[in-house]
Amino acid sequence: MMNKLIVGRFVPKDSFVHRMDARAKVLLSIAYIFIIFEVTNWLGYLIMGLFTIAVTSLTKVSLKTYIQGIKPLIWLITFTVFIQMFFAPSGHVLWNYWIFKVTDIGLLNAVYVLVRFILIIMMSTVLTLTTSPLAIADALEYLMKPLLKIKFPVYEVSLMLSIALRFVPTLMDETERIMNAQRARGVDFANGGIIKRVKALVPILIPLFTNAMKRAIELGDAMEARGYQIDKPRSRYRILVWHRRDTMACLVFGLLLIILIIIKHFI
């Protein structure tokens, strides 16, 4: 399962989305999340779904990769959907047993939550698959620069984000290797009660924590050897450049927003 997590994984391709400026992709991804929570009808979700499918097809990354991004979160999605389904406070009751109650409004909200989760995960996956972690960190640093006026540690936060995005796939791969090594020694992670499964995680967490600390120390030493200092100005090897395609993408997204507003208020 660990090697199926694609958070932070960058897949180099020569596509329209890959060539977009990282700042545009970050801004549009954030706006997408806010907008999807404003959609309240089937037509709006249908349009958002078609838009998401069109964007994923422009990345030239296989649909299987996006499905792999959804699989690790399937239990969280299922739990949230069931909460919406069985504990809706209002609506016509369709089924009732003990404290559980299914209403038409609760069932509709559960479907909406399911669609929202899937679309948000897919769009977030588009961002991470088409943008390198360093480019995402640079974009966030650029977008957060106005916060420097209130003494917000923009550069430190962007550094932490870049390191986190870079090492999430590394730690997942390391976890998978440790689990395979423990399985070869006879450790069973799939069977037994919950206490037995928790105990089986100890041989994973200890070496994983040790390796993570070792990597952190090595990274700190490497940064010091290269003269990195937080309070000093930094030059950049990769310069973010806004192109015409980024403006086109923003205009298309603006058109999508106008269509969704018309559907919400007039249809």
**Whether residues 125 and 159 fall in one domain:** no
Tell me which residue range forms the domain holding 197.
Answer: 155-234
> Would you state the pLDDT for residue 132?
85
> Would you state the pLDDT for residue 137?
82
**Whether residues 78 and 112 fall in one domain:** yes
pLDDT at 1 > cutoff 70: no
**Whether residues 94 and 203 fall in one domain:** no
Percent of the chain with pLDDT over 90: 19
**Whether residues 198 and 243 fall in one domain:** no
> Would you state the pLDDT for residue 5?
56
Tokens encoding 78: 């299922």
pLDDT tens by residue, 186-214: 777 667 667 777 777 777 888 888 888 88
Contact of 104 with 126, CB cutoff 8 Å: no
Contact of 2 with 173, CB cutoff 8 Å: yes
Contact of 3 with 176, CB cutoff 8 Å: yes
In a domain, 138, yes or no: no
pLDDT at 2 > cutoff 60: no
> Would you state the pLDDT for residue 21?
93
Average confidence (pLDDT) over 216-222: 87
Phi, psi of 87 (to 5 degrees): -125, 35
In a domain, 141, yes or no: no
In a domain, 150, yes or no: no
In a domain, 33, yes or no: yes
> Would you state the pLDDT for residue 155?
80
**Whether residues 219 and 248 fall in one domain:** no
In a domain, 148, yes or no: no
**Whether residues 125 and 174 fall in one domain:** no
The most distant pair of C-alpha atoms in the chain lies apart, rounded to whole Å, by 67
Average confidence (pLDDT) over 32-60: 90
Contact of 44 with 262, CB cutoff 8 Å: no
> Would you state the pLDDT for residue 231?
65
Q: Length of the chain, please?
A: 267
What pTM does this model have? 0.75
In a domain, 136, yes or no: no
In a domain, 140, yes or no: no
Q: What is the DSSP string of the chain?
A: -GGG--TT------SHHHHS-HHHHHHHHHHHHHHHTT--SHHHHHHHHHHHHHHHHHTT--HHHHHHHHGGGHHHHHHHHHHHHHB-SSS-EEEEETTEEEEHHHHHHHHHHHHHHHHHHHHHHHHHHHS-HHHHHHHHHHHTGGGGGGT--HHHHHHHHHHHHHHHHHHHHHHHHHHHHHHHTT--SSSS-HHHHHHHHHHHHHHHHHHHHHHHHHHHHHHHHTT--TTS----SS-----HHHHHHHHHHHHHHHHHHHHHHH-
pLDDT at 74 > cutoff 70: yes
Per-residue pLDDT band at 19 (split at 50, 70, 90)? very high
**Whether residues 94 and 119 fall in one domain:** yes
Exposure of 238 by Cβ count < 10 A (0-12 exposed, 13-18 middle, 19+ buried)? Answer: exposed
pLDDT tens by residue, 141-199: 888 888 888 888 888 888 787 787 777 777 877 888 888 888 887 777 667 667 777 77
Tokens encoding 163: 């390191």
More confident residue, 112 or 165: 112
In a domain, 263, yes or no: yes
How many domains does the structure of the chain reveal? 2
**Whether residues 41 and 111 fall in one domain:** yes
